[in-house]
Structure 1
């Protein structure tokens, strides 16, 4: 008699799979004590066990399954047998796909992404603040490094606020379980691939958040980390095979030099340290040349799309990955989900360095990564220079013009994500010296330039500080916790200046949301003169003119030079103030101001 003792198999991942996938193959990782001598068998119509891989570590098996088109959803037994012992039976589920999960899939230029660090945004369920079986149980809101208790329910509780602001998509810093002993709040050292951190509410809270967003027509972007796992990940603590991670005789940190990917004179040694060196001592660098590692990571990402219906991916530390693997990953994702979109973090300097990582092999990269878009750091440095620099031949607003002039290097620059700050950078309001006019100019550029705009939580209420240390830019959103002295999710809890900033962002964000010309309209820019930068967004239905005056004095702009963009229009409406301009032959632009005009 066969005795069912599934507990002897500790894990099978992916946790389940689906019938009817475009790719019929899936590789199961099976983990349990001393599995090496087990003979594996599967008897289920349409499911074929192609091969059993037995790595060096006897606690692992890798099973290659092929699922026929005709296979029906259901639960089937996987039998592990050995002469003289009772069989182990693990029941594995093949689910039916839900086509409704993907109705919003794909983040694009019509969206405004709002970036949230979940631990620092709002605490909607204080019952999950401390989970005793995890390493880090301390909760201390006065510390920059301990957990503060924010969770997914806290985000759900404030979707009205985000919708009012004009947000259409949420990007959350990683929410997978991060069972590291310290600084686990940021999520970038995951120790599970199929589990949302219980301190955020677990998988069900994540499903609840996605459903709540989808019901409002909002999207959810999942933050992925291909490059590394946390050192407490079970596959790192008990390696399936010696080359599962990049091991060094002594701890070796990456050199953080993306140039080795593109430098024709780079040494092999430098490239190895860049790609194979560890990002941090708590972050084991995964060996992307190992096909079992590739399958394990890629399948987990497919699982989250199919299981939860996530709409897009942000790819962390993109330049540190093996680019051949990233090309393979992009192909597998888009073959299964043609509407899925993803963008990579490319914290680099120089448009060629940034464009190098994008799809198209347009600048002699030698590899087509398939990466659709990037976090546009070059646009970031340019807007900082435009607002804080002095105008000159190559400075100030000219830097912004020059950066966009290099867009020919991208297959589609509109897929780049433009931003003013994020969880690793100094807050934008501080960067511009807490100057409200410069702040508004930056927001105006963000919401009218090409690409997909991203706003960091709290920017709209003038949250400030410099990223030294980075915890200073990851402070709690005031009002997200019971007992907070003020609640800045409400107008009554905000100061007059904060309400003015919020209303400004809200007005432009919702205007952008309602006007396709700022999503898909063409961009026409003119060479800046005397610290004034002018560009247009236009299509057959509408034209928007943007005038950025970076001077500390007001200017009167003669618009005859811009006839190509004006296209015969003689009047305009100021999008922010609703002021009607009956004659735009000459336009008075206040000091340090960016005007957004809808031409009539």
Structure 2
């Protein structure tokens, strides 16, 4: 009995040594020589809160140990002095006079030769893809043991299909050939959710690539391969929410790590309440603090620990993988005060870095409200550089599908662009026809090739940063009801595919015609600054005909859009303000030379792009 009592007492002495151990620290590493010397480590382990923390490394100062409600967490405030050398150091916990197993933490040298943080701007042409649905370059990671959703089923739109980062790397030359200069993928972080994990918008880790897409090293390799081709990497970030299985949600550091309600409360999706001068406080709170969906807890971005966690994880990916720009998911649902702080932190570290926000709202003023510069009497400067320009997407759809009247048809397009004065810099806005949440535009225009080419001609010649959705160049189609229908696999991305539409031989004649149309225009845009940064002049539409110009000191490009169902003859005398007597022009698409454009004929529902000679 005495021996049993003694063993029990000894076990109590050793309890801290058994249980108080560090399981993880994030960020998973850091770098010396960063602009901001401050670093907050989130330290996680069973019952570590009562432990003393020891760090002994030249140039690293432990300023404060923050204890929170959950005893499994400590938040360590460090200062990394400019003189600090790269290397590993031990973070040691001491409990009841006993040192527990140390945790080795690394400070790395910044890779001065790595291309990163270039920024994405109006010189670029963005290609959006969903890695799970684009190409499978490594079948070995299709199924990963331990993941909640393990199956691969290409016959179902709801399951994973097996596409990965290596598959994307294998197809970069295809994108380069098309004239693409920037790649945006839907989120690639670990998304360990029970279902629909392929889309990535409910991440469960902040510092790990989903193993079914590959490893962190594969993502870094993707950035390097893009940069070799003079292309850029856009990282899709989701500061507003995480997945319900995120490790900090399964064991929250504190109750207000996420927004909590008495019962489940969904966001209202009413962006108007953010800027409505008459909105109720409760409506505004539901919009910003309500959960996007039940499986995506809403992060409390007013919590300083949450702020540091988000900001540092985003900086980490820029530094580690050479990210050039961010696309910010569900921007209006974020805490705008925090997003202003977030933007300042990024630009302080990387002055050339750029980011744009998803603003799926209705109305130019609604959209502009979320942009930086306080241009329309906002009470806060969000510092948001650009937006996904949904208003122009609505307008081009109206222009091609509806007859012109005082407000609709092509007048909608003209009027929307005429309100660009509300933006600090409209060239930063991303213009697009469709994306992973919307009906494919080829279906929106009734699979009318002429209308579709008109849309693409407009997209690649109007102001801003053009973006296409994967497969747009080969006429992929469908309506987003449900959204899985617009997320089909790119044929040829899997070894077992019967057709390979990455090659001319695998495409039909009409698909090749569309691909070549976009390739010619995409590469012309890439090689001609006039369509990137040139000024714009548009003329009031008449009879369904819309004419605008892009021009700089070297070149002038004229775009004529006929939205009518009949051929037209256009007298160009009206445009002499910019034509200045020039009569010769080159058709960018067909290569046809015109010796006299004083009167120009145009077929129904077509658009021409002319370089004035």
Taking the aligned partners of 1:78 and 1:255, their CA distance within structure 2 comes to 44
How do 1:506-525 residues align onto structure 2 when only pairs under 5 Å count?
Answer: 506-525=519-538
> Quick one: which of 553, 556, 577 aligns to 1:540?
553
Post-superposition CA distance 1:420-440 (Å, at most 9, x none): 000000001000000000000
1:6 CA displacement: 12
> Quick one: which of 283, 293, 299 aligns to 1:280?
293
1:101 CA displacement: 2.3
Taking the aligned partners of 2:579 and 2:454, their CA distance within structure 1 comes to 21
Structure 2: which 5+ residue stretches go unaligned?
1-15
**Match of 2:278?**
265
1:5 CA displacement: 9.8
Aligned residue for 1:230, secondary structure, equals coil
Taking the aligned partners of 1:94 and 1:73, their CA distance within structure 2 comes to 5
> Quick one: which of 314, 317, 330 aligns to 1:304?
317
Aligned residue for 1:10, secondary structure, equals strand
Post-superposition CA distance 1:527-552 (Å, at most 9, x none): 00000000000000000000010001
1:176 CA displacement: 0.1
> Quick one: which of 146, 160, 167 aligns to 2:180?
167
1:567 CA displacement: 2.5
- Quick check: 1:351 aligned with 2:351? no
Aligned residue for 1:251, secondary structure, equals coil
Aligned residue for 2:35, secondary structure, equals coil
Preserved CA contact (<8 Å) 1:47 1:71: yes
Preserved CA contact (<8 Å) 1:288 1:322: yes
**Match of 2:578?**
565
Taking the aligned partners of 2:603 and 2:113, their CA distance within structure 1 comes to 50
Aligned residue for 1:155, secondary structure, equals helix
Taking the aligned partners of 1:362 and 1:27, their CA distance within structure 2 comes to 35
**Match of 2:108?**
95
Taking the aligned partners of 1:562 and 1:200, their CA distance within structure 2 comes to 52
Aligned residue for 1:387, secondary structure, equals helix
Preserved CA contact (<8 Å) 2:20 2:100: no
> Quick one: which of 445, 451, 454 aligns to 1:438?
451
Taking the aligned partners of 2:227 and 2:515, their CA distance within structure 1 comes to 24
> Quick one: which of 188, 192, 199 aligns to 1:179?
192
- Quick check: 1:62 aligned with 2:75? yes
1:103 CA displacement: 5.2
Post-superposition CA distance 1:84-111 (Å, at most 9, x none): 4333311111111112223561111111
Aligned residue for 1:501, secondary structure, equals helix
Superposed CA RMSD in Å reads: 1.3
**Match of 1:322?**
335
**Match of 2:86?**
73
Taking the aligned partners of 2:315 and 2:581, their CA distance within structure 1 comes to 50
Preserved CA contact (<8 Å) 1:36 1:59: yes
Preserved CA contact (<8 Å) 1:573 1:579: yes
Report the CA distance shift for 1:79/1:560 in structure 2 as closer, same or farther (over 3 A).
same
Preserved CA contact (<8 Å) 2:117 2:325: no
Aligned residue for 1:557, secondary structure, equals strand
Preserved CA contact (<8 Å) 1:6 1:90: no
Taking the aligned partners of 2:96 and 2:352, their CA distance within structure 1 comes to 49
Report the CA distance shift for 1:5/1:560 in structure 2 as closer, same or farther (over 3 A).
farther
Aligned residue for 2:257, secondary structure, equals coil
**Match of 1:113?**
126
Post-superposition CA distance 1:127-165 (Å, at most 9, x none): 000001110001110111100000011111111111111
Aligned residue for 1:330, secondary structure, equals helix
**Match of 1:586?**
599
Preserved CA contact (<8 Å) 2:117 2:350: no
Preserved CA contact (<8 Å) 1:81 1:88: no
Taking the aligned partners of 1:6 and 1:33, their CA distance within structure 2 comes to 6
Taking the aligned partners of 2:172 and 2:416, their CA distance within structure 1 comes to 35
Preserved CA contact (<8 Å) 1:191 1:229: yes
How do 1:94-243 residues align onto structure 2 when only pairs under 5 Å count?
Answer: 94-102=107-115, 105-243=118-256
Taking the aligned partners of 2:496 and 2:48, their CA distance within structure 1 comes to 52
Taking the aligned partners of 2:487 and 2:203, their CA distance within structure 1 comes to 19
Using the size of structure 1 for normalisation, the TM-score is 0.98
Using the size of structure 2 for normalisation, the TM-score is 0.96
**Match of 2:13?**
none
**Match of 2:8?**
none
How do 1:428-507 residues align onto structure 2 when only pairs under 5 Å count?
Answer: 428-507=441-520
1:44 CA displacement: 1.3
Structure 1: which 5+ residue stretches go unaligned?
none
Taking the aligned partners of 1:343 and 1:5, their CA distance within structure 2 comes to 47
Preserved CA contact (<8 Å) 2:39 2:78: yes
Structure 1 residue runs of 4+, over 2 Å off?
Answer: 3-8, 84-88, 99-104
Which structure: larger Rg?
2
- Quick check: 1:364 aligned with 2:414? no
Preserved CA contact (<8 Å) 1:6 1:89: no
Taking the aligned partners of 2:458 and 2:258, their CA distance within structure 1 comes to 42
Taking the aligned partners of 1:222 and 1:108, their CA distance within structure 2 comes to 15
How many aligned residue pairs are there?
Answer: 598
Aligned residue for 1:198, secondary structure, equals coil
Deviating more after overlay: 429-438 vs 566-575: 566-575
